[in-house]
Amino acid sequence: MPELPEVERAVRLLRSIGVGKTICKVETTEDKLVFMQTTHDQFAAEIVNRTIQDVCRYGKVFYLELNGKGRAPVLHFGMTGNLQVRGEEPLRYQESPKRPSVTWPPKYMKFVLHLADEASNVTAEVAFMDARRLGRIRLCISPTAEPPISELGFDPILSMPSMTDFLPMVRRRTCPVKALLLDQSFSAGVGNWVADEILYHARIHPEQRCNTLTDDQLNSLHNHITDVCSTAVAVNADSQQFPENWLFRYRWGKGKKKTDAGTLILPNGEPATIKWVTVGGRTSAYIVELQRLPSNADLGLSNEPQPVSRPLRGGKRKRLVDDLPLQQPSKR
């Protein structure tokens, strides 16, 4: 699914073609699931004939600042949401279809904005589409002060906390560090591949518990949360321009298909071993030689097993609250 870098790319596209232009017409498709707390007709009526002043992002959510009275569109791609400008291919990310359609209006369209610039008589059309209907379209009076943005944690680009504040935020948790990174109320915008990339560079196993991280590990984690997101954003989320030593180039397919990148090489010149484990409900890639899960002995703990679940009736088990993210991340 689109994560912080891909959403930032969509924001830059919409900003480049939309700022200063007036929404002269809005086409919509009825979808009571994707349009939240509003209808598709209400959405169109509230934003038409208003000018786009800016397009902003926080985490995986983005919104349009419009002139005049009325609420602002607040958008979330979910798993398969996307933008497409008429006459161009839709924005693509790793698991997008290999041959995207350029038909218009695009399939699975939820709305199309018709944009006009009276000064230069320039027009453009941009569509929001979502095949799996896990995206969300809202109208908010104050986007940053209302859900969903008001319920999000720090944004690694816009509001990364200092190390002094970051350390207790992590240390007080007992869940696996990968699950914490996926929790949008902790780090807004970090999804599955970004979290794996961060932990790979920080040399931390995705299953290591937050309260067992050392000062050095926490410092590395703090640095790489910002570094990975900033690096991906700097190249406009173009994976072909990601550094050669990034895990992203080798993590897809779970070893069942070859990648164009070849084999990831360790610092000592040997080939790396990529393995996968499910953490926080997501498949997580890690490098065996670099991301070691510490044993109880390493941590100075008892070898007795620690309870992480409680039995319920019917053989079901209930996880402890801190073993899961506060908000379940959408699957890619």
Q: Which whole number is the average pLDDT over 258-265?
A: 72
pLDDT at 278 over 60: yes
pTM: 0.86
Which one is catalytic: 2, 5, 176, 206? 2
Burial of 211 (0-12, 13-18, 19+ CB in 10 A): middle
Q: Where in the chain is the domain with CATH 1.10.8.50?
A: 163-298
CA distances from 296 to 151, 207, 279 (A): 35, 13, 19
Q: Cα–Cα–Cα angle for 295, 327, 152, nearest 5°?
A: 110
Q: What is the CATH number of domain 163-298?
A: 1.10.8.50
Tell me, yes or no, if 110 is annotated catalytic: no
CA–CA separation, 22 and 45 (whole Å): 14
Tell me, yes or no, if 60 is annotated catalytic: yes
Q: Where in the chain is the domain with CATH 3.20.190.10?
A: 4-151
Q: What is the CATH number of domain 4-151?
A: 3.20.190.10
pLDDT at 287 over 70: yes
Closest Cα to residue 193, out of 305, 94, 287?
94
Residue 145 has, within 13 A of its CA and on its CB side, a CA count of 3
In the chain, the amino acid numbered 159 is S
The length of the chain, given as a count of residues? 332
Within the chain, what is the greatest distance between any pair of CA atoms? 73
In the chain, the amino acid numbered 224 is H
pLDDT attached to residue 121: 78
pLDDT attached to residue 312: 40
pLDDT attached to residue 329: 40
Q: Which whole number is the average pLDDT over 22-50?
A: 97
Tell me, yes or no, if 275 is annotated catalytic: no
More confident residue, 16 or 322: 16
pLDDT attached to residue 260: 56
Which one is catalytic: 3, 6, 197, 207? 3
Which one is catalytic: 21, 60, 110, 178? 60
pLDDT at 256 over 50: yes
pLDDT at 251 over 70: yes
Three-state DSSP class for 41?
A: helix
